[in-house]
Amino acid sequence: MQVGHRLPRNSVIYPVGGAAFGDYDVSKLGPSPVKAPMRAPEPAFQRQDAQFARAFQILQQAIEQRAFPGAALAVAQGGRLLALRGVGRFTYEDGAPAVTADTVFDLASVSKVVATSAMSMLLYDAGQLDLDQPVWNIFPEFAGEDPRRRDITLRLLLAHSSGLPAYERLFQRARTRDELLRAALETPLMAEPGTRAEYSDIGFVILGEALARIAGETLDRFCQTHVFGPLGMAHTGYCPPAAWKSAIPPTVDDRDFRHRVVQGEVHDENASVMGGVSGHAGVFAPAADVAAFAQAVLDSRGSQAGGLFRRETVLLFTQRQSTPAKNSRALGWDTPSQPSQSGRYLCRSSFGHLGYTGTSLWIDPERELSITLLTNRTWPDNRNQQIKEVRPRWHDAVVEALSCSA
């Protein structure tokens, strides 16, 4: 089965709200909080074949060993895009379309940082987000009959220490967005709030809806207006149109829930029932757009004025939480823990996130470095775990290449 074809470079995606990716209507949605023109990393990848030869070889070997069919990558340092490439194919078939540098991937949980955490940071900057606001103040039904639930705040949702479980197959009993949100709000706790770090998709389903209520604007519309549009992330957003379906690598041959190849629609089943827009998953993007977002975070962190976010906000949200113990989580972001999928070399103040479909973004502020890797490792099913071995070696090879050229 051949799946896909190459997307025209000048094509435009239209998400759920109807506005094109990068085409936001400020007269209806309010002004963007951007304080200065945003810069994308300057293309400077003329030497990438020589400089990153070993790193590229690691990805090619991974493809040959069927860790994933294809990948797109971006490496940026000091405001310069040093590597941008696609390798492999959409599927393992010889005639499948080749992945290019422009190929758009399902970011899976990397959506948690480029969308949900970014929205949280902007609302915090604007004085609209109180991190210590109890969730039940926004969703009274969340309190339920368990008194502990009244102690759960937005901060605990962001830090994955709310006591909610990691994952629930809510899609098996919810058929609509409202039903799934209700099921998430009623999900029983697995631990005392604030006492255990438990990465929770359920928490971010709730968080995404809480942010929408605070902003008075849906997650996808807010991010399009205030994040993707201002940063020139022209091919990033939720819910790609049907015309783009064949130009996005498939993520799974779903035999259990949707009973079809999942291509150009969100891989995550709970996000699918949410209509493709959720706080935990749903964003699609090419590697260069993810690198542009990372550059905006680095620029904001490195200066007192200007940038997409306030410097103090970036420092707050990307700092590892001191409690509970043995927690690598910051607010929405993750930080390296040994052994780490980010490899051995990134500095202690680094931050990033992984995605279930085989995606990742890591940012090292000391090196002014961002490393983006997008794959569809879940094709044709979810059982392949080789990416866990590939990611650290890939990140190490990238840093070693940069060290040798310094």
CA angle 93-94-96, nearest 5°? Answer: 65
**Domain boundaries of the chain, sorted by first residue:** 26-115+222-405
Residue 23: predicted pLDDT? 33
Average pLDDT of the residues in 298-320: 90
> What digits encode the pLDDT tens for the residues 143-191?
999 999 999 999 999 999 999 999 999 999 999 999 999 999 999 999 9
Tell me which of 249-263, 296-310, 359-373 is least confident: 296-310
Average pLDDT of the residues in 233-253: 94
Using the predicted structure, report yes or no on whether residue 20 has a pLDDT greater than 90: no
- Per cent of the chain over pLDDT 70 is 89
Tell me which of 18-32, 73-87, 102-116, 382-396 is least confident: 18-32
Q: Residue 284 corresponds to which tokens in the numbers above?
A: 């699609």
Fold (topology level) of 26-115+222-405:
Beta-lactamase (3.40.710)
CA angle 206-212-213, nearest 5°? Answer: 90
DSSP of 122-184: HHHHTT---TT-BHHHH-GGGSTT-GGGGG-BHHHHHTT-SS--S---GGGT--SHHHHHHHH
Average pLDDT of the residues in 254-276: 97
**pTM (two decimals):** 0.91
Using the predicted structure, report yes or no on whether residue 10 has a pLDDT greater than 50: no
When pLDDT is cut at 50, 70 and 90, the band that residue 38 belongs to is low
